[in-house]
Amino acid sequence: MELGTIKQRIFMWSGWLSIVTGLISFAVLNIFLFWGYNLPITNNVSFWFLITVILGIVSTINKNSRSLGLWGLGLGLYLGLFVAVMFIIGWTIHPFP
């Protein structure tokens, strides 16, 4: 195999992985919120958020996988925004646990 096709596949796989990790993180977040469990934001969601954003940034380097990377970045940034808004709303309702 040529080096160009290997690089292309790496970028495409990182784009797909960023989308999959973004969707998995949303699924985990929704399961925790739906079932009423306390969400360990610092452990689970932050890890998936960072992996999604890093893989999305890596896949936006290549022109052919840029759309996948932008989808992954969009999912990751929306997840971060959602967690931040939920924290702010929760803090305004009950500031001291």
Instruction: Give the pLDDT score at 36.
Output: 73
pLDDT recorded at residue 73: 93
- Half-sphere exposure of 63 toward its Cβ, with a 13 Å CA cutoff? 1
How confident is the chain (97 residues) per 10-residue block, as mean pLDDT?
A: 75 91 86 73 72 91 89 91 86 79
* Percent of the chain with pLDDT strictly greater than 70: 88
Cα 27 from Cα 40, distance rounded (Å): 14
Per-residue pLDDT tens digits for 72-86: 999 999 988 988 888
Please tell me the predicted confidence (pLDDT) of residue 78: 92
- Cα Rg of the chain (Å, integer): 16
